[in-house]
Amino acid sequence: MGDPNRPVTGYPAAQPPPATALPYYNNNYPYQNQHYPDPYSAQRNTFLRRVIAILVASTIITGTILFVIWLVILPRIPEFQVDSLIISNLNLSNSLITANWDLNFTARNPNKKITLYYDEIASAIFYHSLSIADTTVPPFFMDKVNETAHKVSFVASGAYVEKWAFDGMGKERTEKGSVGFNVRMVARVSFKAGAWRARKRYLRVYCGDLLVAVALNKSSGNLLGGSRQCRVGL
């Protein structure tokens, strides 16, 4: 039996605290499909990019070569000159005009390395901005540093002209004894130098202030002042 007067030297071991466990939740996440890139689609995209790059590079290279050739050849614009203009059978009455015009002109090719070929040539004669008669010109070829002479005929038979033009021509004949006409031409022209051929361009020719001596009591007349240079542009 123990001594009741003996001092207490220890305590009984304490019970461990109860374990605390987190509650369990069963989260059911939806299944997500994995995306895998299509290797064939990537190859197609790469192929298309390469094709486009090749096409762009080829276009740039071709354009550069053509531009260099153009600079080396140094093409010059052709020249046109009116040599004569004759009017005959002129009759103005009741806002109607009847007349024949015979135009002679010279075309020059100033290029030393380029030949020219003209086709689809349309020409018209004007009083100021009013077209009176038109015609077509046969195609023609021009060699290097060459000039050729051509004749164009216009015919108006009882053609109606607006009042301002009818009165204007009558006034010019009364006051000056002449009438001023303009001639315009549009032609498709091909430039060729050896094996090199440029694309076809449209050439525009304007021959203005062609004064023809034809007084009121005359029905025919000739160009005043000699030959005239025309303006030419592409």
Alpha-carbon distance values, 19 to 13, 25, 73, 126 (Å): 18, 18, 100, 113
| Phi and psi angles of residue 63, each rounded to the nearest 5 degrees, phi first | -60, -40
Point out which residues pair with 212 in neighbouring strands. Answer: 179, 223
| Judgement on whether residues 69 and 84 belong to the same structural domain of the protein | no
List the domain range (segments joined by +) for residue 45: 35-73
Contact 79, 110 (CB under 8 A): yes
Average pLDDT (136-150) is 96
| Judgement on whether residues 67 and 150 belong to the same structural domain of the protein | no
Distance CA 182, CA 72 (A): 36
pTM: 0.69
Ranges of beta strands (E only) in 110-144 are 115-127, 130-137, 140-142
Q: Which residue's entry shows tokens 């077509």?
A: 136
Residue 114 exposed, middle or buried by CB count within 10 Å (0-12, 13-18, 19+) = buried
| Judgement on whether residues 91 and 51 belong to the same structural domain of the protein | no
Indicate whether 17 belongs to any domain: no
Model pLDDT for residues 32-84, shown as the tens digit of each residue: 555 555 666 777 778 788 888 888 888 888 777 665 565 555 778 999 999 99
Average pLDDT (208-215) is 96
| Judgement on whether residues 58 and 149 belong to the same structural domain of the protein | no
Distance CA 151, CA 94 (A): 31
| Judgement on whether residues 95 and 161 belong to the same structural domain of the protein | yes
Alpha-carbon distance values, 148 to 118, 142, 152 (Å): 12, 7, 13
Model pLDDT for residues 6-35, shown as the tens digit of each residue: 555 555 555 555 555 555 555 555 555 555
Distance CA 157, CA 100 (A): 9
| Judgement on whether residues 121 and 187 belong to the same structural domain of the protein | yes
Looking at the structure of the chain, the number of domains it has is 2
Coil, helix or strand for 109?
strand
Q: What's the CATH number where 195 sits?
A: 2.60.40
pLDDT at residue 34, as a whole number: 58
| Judgement on whether residues 69 and 120 belong to the same structural domain of the protein | no
Instruction: Tell which wins on pLDDT, 205 or 194.
Output: 205
Model pLDDT for residues 106-128, shown as the tens digit of each residue: 999 999 989 999 999 999 999 99
| Judgement on whether residues 68 and 84 belong to the same structural domain of the protein | no
Among candidate residues 108, 77, 85, 79, the one with its CA nearest the CA of residue 227? 85
Single residue among 27, 54, 73 that ends a domain in this structure: 73
pLDDT at residue 46, as a whole number: 81
| Judgement on whether residues 132 and 203 belong to the same structural domain of the protein | yes
- Tell me the percentage of the chain whose pLDDT exceeds 70: 77
| Judgement on whether residues 55 and 143 belong to the same structural domain of the protein | no
Report how far apart the first and last C-alpha atoms of the chain are (Å, whole number): 137
| Judgement on whether residues 227 and 133 belong to the same structural domain of the protein | yes
Indicate whether 150 belongs to any domain: yes
| Judgement on whether residues 135 and 186 belong to the same structural domain of the protein | yes
Contact 212, 90 (CB under 8 A): no
Indicate whether 52 belongs to any domain: yes
Tokens of 220: 């025919």
Indicate whether 63 belongs to any domain: yes
